[in-house]
C-alpha cells in the first residue's frame, strides 16, 4: 500500500434503499470512504448492517425492490476516472472483471453446476475480449488457475467434482482473469474449515499483491481481519461508524460499538469469560432517532438521542462517527467525554 497516494476508489454519500411492503429500508445510508492503491480494507459488522449491499451496489448488481438512490463511486484507471454509478448497463458489463471484480459469498452456489470450469472462465473472457483466439483464452485461464495453486486439469471438471476450497479458488481465479484494479471479496472463507480458510486467504492476498490491486474484504472474523487488513471499517445500521488502521482498531478502538466488538473477542488470559453487547441491532425499517447505536451504548448522552453525530477525522487520520469525539453545541468533545457516564458491562461466565 502506497502512503498518501491518490485513492484508486473514492466513494461518496452512497445510499441504497429497498422498497418493501413493510416500508422503506435504508440498507446503505450515506457511506463514504477512500481505498488506496494496494490497500486491503476489512469491512466488519453484524449481519444485516449493509455490508453485502454495499458490495453489490459498487458492482451495480442491486436488484428490485432495491435501488441506488444517490452517491458516487469513482475508480481511477490508466484511462481516467470512471464513476461506476453513472455508467449505463452495457458500459458497466465491460467494467466488471476488468476494473472491479466480485468474489461472491458462498462459492458452493456461485458456480454454474452444469458447466465445466473451462466454459465458465472462457465465457467471462469472451464477454470482454470477443476477438481473442480460443487458444489465448485457454492459456489465460490456465495461468489464472495456476496463480491460485490449482492444476490445469481443473478446467475440465464440473463444480461438483471440486472441494469447497477448490471452488473458492476457482472463484478467485475468475475474479482476477482481467487484472482488475479493485477486488471485492464477500466472506470468501465462509463454510470452510479453519485450515482451508487460511490457505484461501493466503492465496487471495498473494494474487492481490501480484496484481497490485486493492481489496475490500467483507467478513465477521475479526481475527482474520487482524491478519490480513491494512485498515478496518466498522459498519452499523447502514453506516460506517469507524475506519481505523488495523493495529489501532484492535488496540484502541474509538467508537463504542467498535470497542464492544473488540471486547467480545475471546482471550487466553480470560478463558471462560465472555463480554456481550446488550440489546439487538435495530431494524432498518424503524431506526431510532439520532445515533442508531444509542439504545445499546454505554456512553449515551442527550445529543445522541436527538441528532445523528457527524463523522470526525482524528489527528492520526482515523474516522469516527460519535459525539464523544465531536465538538458539540455546549463545548468541545473533551468536555463531552468527561460528562459521559458509561454503564459497565458484566462478563457472562461460561
Cell output for 96: 466488471
Among residues of the chain, what percentage have pLDDT more than 90?
72
Residue 228 sits in the same domain as residue 282: no
pLDDT of residue 9: 98
Residue 153 sits in the same domain as residue 15: yes
Q: Which residue has the higher pLDDT, 304 or 105?
A: 304
Rg of the chain on CA atoms, in Å:
22
Residue 244 located in a structural domain: no
Residue 199 sits in the same domain as residue 314: no
pLDDT of residue 105: 80
Residue 225 sits in the same domain as residue 337: no
Task: Give the angle 135-212-166 at the CA atoms, nearest 5°.
Answer: 55
Residue range 304-327, pLDDT digits in tens: 999 999 999 998 889 999 999 985
Residue 74 located in a structural domain: yes
Question: In the 8-state DSSP scheme, what is residue 1?
Answer: -
pLDDT of residue 224: 86
Q: Which residue has the higher pLDDT, 199 or 218?
A: 218
Cβ 82 vs Cβ 74: under 8 Å = yes
How far is residue 282's CA from residue 291's CA, in Å, rounded to a whole number?
11
User: Of the candidates 180, 208, 236, which is a domain's last residue?
Assistant: 236
Number of domains present in the structure of the chain: 2
Residue 243 located in a structural domain: no
pLDDT of residue 331: 46
How far is residue 345's CA from residue 342's CA, in Å, rounded to a whole number?
9
Residue 110 sits in the same domain as residue 206: yes
Residue 220 sits in the same domain as residue 267: no
User: Of the candidates 210, 236, 262, which is a domain's last residue?
Assistant: 236
| Cis omega (within 30 of 0) for bond into 65 | yes
Residue 3 located in a structural domain: no
Residue range 51-78, pLDDT digits in tens: 999 999 999 999 999 999 999 999 999 8
Cβ 16 vs Cβ 53: under 8 Å = yes
Residue 182: pLDDT above 80? yes
pLDDT of residue 120: 95
Tell me the average pLDDT of the chain. 88
Residue range 236-264, pLDDT digits in tens: 999 999 999 999 999 999 999 999 988 88
pLDDT of residue 193: 82
Residue 160 sits in the same domain as residue 221: yes
Residue 308 located in a structural domain: yes
Residue 210 located in a structural domain: yes
User: Of the candidates 236, 262, 284, which is a domain's last residue?
Assistant: 236
Question: Around Cβ 193, how many Cβ atoms within 10 Å?
Answer: 10
How far is residue 325's CA from residue 319's CA, in Å, rounded to a whole number?
10
- Residues in contact with 290: Cβ distance below 8 Å, sequence separation at least 6, in sequence order: 303, 304, 305, 306, 307, 308, 309
How far is residue 306's CA from residue 311's CA, in Å, rounded to a whole number?
16
Question: Around Cβ 297, how many Cβ atoms within 10 Å?
Answer: 25
Residue 267: pLDDT above 80? no
pLDDT of residue 51: 95
Residue 271 located in a structural domain: yes
Cell output for 72: 458516487
* Domain boundaries, position 302: 254-349
**Given pLDDT bands bounded at 50, 70 and 90, which one contains residue 272?**
low
Provide DSSP, 175-196: HTTT--SEEEEESTTTTS-HHH
Specify the CATH number for the domain of residue 28. 3.40.50.300
pLDDT of residue 329: 37
Q: Which residue has the higher pLDDT, 9 or 281?
A: 9
Residue range 136-173, pLDDT digits in tens: 999 999 999 999 999 999 999 999 999 988 999 999 99
Residue 28 sits in the same domain as residue 144: yes
- Comparing CA positions, the residue from 152, 192, 190, 187 lying closest to residue 173 is 152
Instruction: Report helix angle 164-175 to 117-128, nearest 10.
Output: 10
Residue 196 sits in the same domain as residue 263: no
Residue 143 sits in the same domain as residue 276: no
Residue 172 located in a structural domain: yes
pLDDT of residue 124: 94
Lowest mean pLDDT among 39-48, 149-158, 168-177, 278-287: 278-287
Residue 112 sits in the same domain as residue 151: yes
Residue 138 sits in the same domain as residue 258: no
pLDDT of residue 4: 62
Amino acid at each position: 500500500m502506497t502512503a498518501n497516494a491518490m485513492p484508486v476508489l473514492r466513494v461518496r454519500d452512497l445510499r441504497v434503499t429497498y422498497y418493501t411492503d413493510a416500508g422503506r429500508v435504508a440498507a446503505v445510508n450515506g457511506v463514504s470512504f477512500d481505498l488506496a492503491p494496494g490497500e486491503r480494507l476489512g469491512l466488519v459488522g453484524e449481519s444485516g448492517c449493509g455490508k453485502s449491499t454495499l458490495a453489490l451496489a459498487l458492482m451495480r448488481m442491486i436488484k428490485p425492490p432495491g435501488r441506488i438512490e444517490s452517491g458516487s463511486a469513482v475508480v481511477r484507471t490508466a484511462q481516467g476516472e470512471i464513476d461506476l454509478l453513472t455508467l449505463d448497463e452495457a458500459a458497466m458489463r465491460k467494467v466488471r472483471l476488468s476494473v472491479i471484480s466480485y468474489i461472491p459469498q458462498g462459492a458452493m452456489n456461485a458456480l454454474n453446476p452444469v458447466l465445466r470450469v473451462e466454459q465458465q472462465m472462457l465465457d467471462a473472457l469472451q464477454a470482454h475480449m470477443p476477438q481473442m483466439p480460443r487458444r489465448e483464452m485457454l492459456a489465460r485461464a490456465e495461468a489464472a488457475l495456476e496463480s491460485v495453486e490449482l492444476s490445469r486439469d481443473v478446467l475440465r471438471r464440473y463444480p461438483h467434482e471440486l472441494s469447497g476450497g477448490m471452488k473458492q479458488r476457482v472463484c478467485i481465479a475468475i475474479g482476477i482473469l482481467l487484472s482488475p484494479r479493485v477486488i471485492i471479496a464477500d466472506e470468501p472463507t465462509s463454510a470452510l474449515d479453519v485450515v482451508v480458510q487460511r490457505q484461501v486467504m493466503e492465496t487471495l492476498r498473494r494474487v492481490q499483491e501480484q496484481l497490485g490491486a486493492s481489496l475490500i474484504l467483507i467478513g465477521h472474523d475479526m481475527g482474520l481481519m487482524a491478519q490480513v487488513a491494512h485498515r478496518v471499517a466498522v459498519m452499523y445500521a447502514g453506516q460506517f461508524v469507524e475506519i481505523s488502521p488495523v493495529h489501532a482498531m484492535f488496540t484502541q478502538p474509538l467508537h463504542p460499538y467498535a470497542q464492544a466488538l473488540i471486547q467480545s473477542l475471546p482471550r487466553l488470559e480470560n478463558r471462560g469469560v465472555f463480554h456481550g453487547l446488550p440489546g439487538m441491532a435495530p431494524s432498518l425499517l424503524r431506526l431510532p432517532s439520532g445515533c442508531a447505536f444509542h439504545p445499546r451504548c454505554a456512553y449515551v448522552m442527550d445529543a445522541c438521542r436527538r441528532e445523528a453525530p457527524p463523522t470526525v477525522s482524528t489527528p492520526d487520520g482515523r474516522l469516527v462517527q460519535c459525539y464523544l469525539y465531536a465538538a458539540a453545541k455546549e463545548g468541545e468533545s473533551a468536555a463531552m467525554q468527561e460528562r459521559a457516564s458509561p454503564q459497565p458491562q458484566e462478563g457472562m461466565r461460561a
